A = this chain, B = another copy of it.
Amino acid sequence: MYRTNTCGDLRITDINSEITLSGWVHKIRKMGGMTFIDLRDRYGITQLSFNQAINPDICEKANKLGRECVIQITGVVTERSNKNTHIPTGDIEINVTALNILNSSKTPPFTIENETDGGDDIRMKYRYLDLRRDVVRQNLELRHKMTIATRQYLDERQFLEVETPVLIGSTPEGARDFIVPSRMNKGEFYALPQSPQLFKQLLMVAGFDRYFQIVKCFRDEDLRADRQPEFTQIDCEMSFVEQEDVLSTFEGLTKYIFKNIKGIDLPDFPRISYADAMKFYGSDKPDTRFDMKFVEIKDLTEGHNFGVFDSAEYVGAICVKNCATYTRKQLDELTDFVKRPQIGAKGLVYVRYNEDGTIKSSVDKFYNEEDLKLWLDRSNANPGDLLLVLSGETEKTQKQLGELRLEMGSRLGLRDKFNYKCLWVIDFPLLEWSEEDERYVAKHHPFTSPKPEDIPLLDSNPGAVRANAYDIVINGVEVGGGSIRIHDSELQKKMFSVLGFSDEQAQKQFGFLMNAFQYGAPPHGGIAFGLDRFVSLLAGLDSIRDCIAFPKNNSGRDVMIDAPSIVDQKQLDELKIALVQE
């Protein structure tokens, strides 16, 4: 037996017990005739003591150990004279009577500490050492706990976890698929699923009633910090439900997870329409940890010969509390911020509402204090506040103002990672116009149900049709989204035609789903949560990478195992494929 206890187990109540521990040498300290080793495993750190006078052979052996060696020791639990209150085992130490070296270790390329000297590249190459660091492992422990809690909640509510296939067919709609050549069906390819969407809908047709799956999905898209080629979804679907049923079930799940994992009781989630989210936050995933809602002042700006505002479709302001004292330099920084190409505003107008009640703006040439006071009043500004104003084409300006709002939130420290604000964004548009394809594409996906009252608009004004679609947003991050689905094959056909699919194309790509709908499809709807994002939010991480055990880099490479890689010609020959030289 390698151990009687773990390195996190022992307490003052264990004094005088003879125990055996195994673990890694975390630190060695020599003091006078004593050697102290911090022995580490997943469960904690226990101090070992070796006395040169009493047991010179073992002490000698201990002195030769390097960091990260794997050892097994036997000894007696004793009370520490110099207690460490920072760790649960800090009251005791082990007087070691036997030491067995299980494995040696080369010097790690970076220190195995929460604050490490290893850069991203070296940490990823030696990910198995990086994962030894508490801060990284704790993210994965949290991920484990989250999936356990999720399954508990859903299992208690009659959801069945059903595995759907990974080797499926390719569908051109949506993002780019990874494809897999089939050896047994020459010239044909499987695709890896971007989501189990079709299968979960088929499970509803099959009468499974409530389905979920925590499942890997795949997208061959260019990568960013919060995107990986393989990612994990909590994928769910329910039958005989309306939007309200789905929202309440999964608001419940979210509350359950927060309570279970973080001990936080979340209040009921506010709901906001997509239209209002754009109007007040310039974003379909508003960060509601702070207020600073948009105020529209176009009407108040007219008739003053200020060309910029007069020619603008939209003039919107945010009121920044207690920032009237912002210096010229600070305001220039903000102007530079909104003028960055990623934001794309032409300029920034400010109004300082000074503590003494005077008003000073960058457009004093066009507006006097009385004019500006109207803007301030509509913005509920108080003396000491700062108004920031952007103008231009409505949608673009709202997005720019949204970015400025987030920037101000960050600058003012209003975006505490551990202050969680959840909400539902509802009533999304069903369709959006694609400039590239010169047609409408599905905002969510082609199976999303329009709101029944908006169906007549499908012919007359498709862009105005609202969907029974919803997103769950936490702290400005879209954590999940879903919709009530179309369960009527005629409406589904109509939808494909609005999306510009010929009957033949629709039949070829989704024929099996439309056929399935002819055999008694129940009303159904669902949601999918992005597990990686959800975990990183709970863990307070900036990137999803550190809640994934073995992530890929921005080129889609696993630098630890050096994948992807070239394969034997024999493998390609068997698959009847060849590489094309550029």
User: Which B residues are CB-close (under 8 A) to A188?
Assistant: 564-566
Does A1 make an interface contact (CB < 8 A)? yes
Does A523 make an interface contact (CB < 8 A)? yes
Q: Which of B103, B198, B549, B573 contacts A164 (CB 8 A)?
A: B549
Query: Which residues 537-582 of A sit at the B interface, judged by CB distance below 8 A?
Result: 548-550, 552, 555-558, 560-568, 571, 573-580, 582
User: Which B residues are CB-close (under 8 A) to A177?
Assistant: 571
A105 touching B230 by the CB < 8 A rule?
no
Q: Which of B22, B43, B137, B512 contacts A561 (CB 8 A)?
A: B512
B185 touching A555 by the CB < 8 A rule?
yes
Does A277 make an interface contact (CB < 8 A)? no
A521 touching B242 by the CB < 8 A rule?
no
Chain B residue with Cβ nearest A148: B155
User: Which B residues are CB-close (under 8 A) to A389?
Assistant: none
Chain B residue with Cβ nearest A548: B163
Q: List 30 A-B contacts (CB under 8 A).
A: A41-B207, A42-B209, A102-B487, A103-B488, A103-B520, A126-B519, A127-B202, A128-B206, A128-B516, A129-B519, A131-B206, A162-B549, A163-B216, A163-B548, A165-B558, A166-B218, A167-B218, A167-B563, A169-B562, A169-B564, A178-B180, A188-B564, A188-B566, A189-B566, A191-B567, A198-B561, A199-B549, A202-B560, A576-B579, A577-B579
User: Which B residues are CB-close (under 8 A) to A167?
Assistant: 178, 218, 229-230, 552, 556, 558, 563-564
Chain B residue with Cβ nearest A216: B166
Cα distance, A562 to B552, chains bound together (Å): 31
Cα distance, A6 to B188, chains bound together (Å): 43
User: Which B residues are CB-close (under 8 A) to A453?
Assistant: none
Query: Which residues 81-131 of A sit at the B interface, judged by CB distance below 8 A?
Result: 102-106, 108, 126-131
Does A377 make an interface contact (CB < 8 A)? no
Among A139-147, A294-302, A378-386, A441-449, the stretch in contact with B = A139-147
**With A2-B523, A182-B564 given, is the CB distance from A580 to B578 under 8 Å?**
yes
Cα distance, A42 to B239, chains bound together (Å): 11
Cα distance, A34 to B275, chains bound together (Å): 52
Q: Which of B1, B563, B580 contacts A190 (CB 8 A)?
A: B563
Chain B residue with Cβ nearest A184: B556
**With A187-B579, A519-B129 given, is the CB distance from A2 to B206 under 8 Å?**
no
A137 touching B208 by the CB < 8 A rule?
yes
B550 touching A165 by the CB < 8 A rule?
yes
Chain B residue with Cβ nearest A208: B42
Chain B residue with Cβ nearest A210: B42
Does A271 make an interface contact (CB < 8 A)? no
B207 touching A168 by the CB < 8 A rule?
no
A161 touching B144 by the CB < 8 A rule?
yes
Does A69 make an interface contact (CB < 8 A)? yes
- With most chain B CB atoms within 10 A of its CB, the pick from A162, A186, A552 is A162
Can you list the 7 inter-chain pairs with the closest CB atoms, starting with the nearest?
A169-B563, A105-B520, A131-B206, A2-B240, A188-B564, A182-B564, A68-B520
Number of copies: 2
Chain B residue with Cβ nearest A165: B550
Does A170 make an interface contact (CB < 8 A)? yes
**New A-B pairs, 8, CB < 8 Å, besides A140-B162, A165-B552, A166-B218:** A105-B520, A128-B203, A144-B162, A166-B166, A168-B561, A184-B556, A199-B549, A578-B579
Does A79 make an interface contact (CB < 8 A)? no
Cα distance, A202 to B132, chains bound together (Å): 11
Does A476 make an interface contact (CB < 8 A)? no
Does A307 make an interface contact (CB < 8 A)? no
- With most chain B CB atoms within 10 A of its CB, the pick from A170, A222, A549 is A549
A518 touching B105 by the CB < 8 A rule?
yes
B169 touching A128 by the CB < 8 A rule?
no
Cα distance, A137 to B168, chains bound together (Å): 21
A567 touching B522 by the CB < 8 A rule?
no
Does A183 make an interface contact (CB < 8 A)? yes
Q: Mark A217-256, 1 if CB is under 8 A from B, else 0.
A: 0101010000001101000000011100100000000000
**With A207-B41, A488-B103 given, is the CB distance from A556 to B185 under 8 Å?**
yes
User: Which B residues are CB-close (under 8 A) to A346?
Assistant: none
Chain B residue with Cβ nearest A531: B163
User: Which B residues are CB-close (under 8 A) to A127?
Assistant: 202, 206
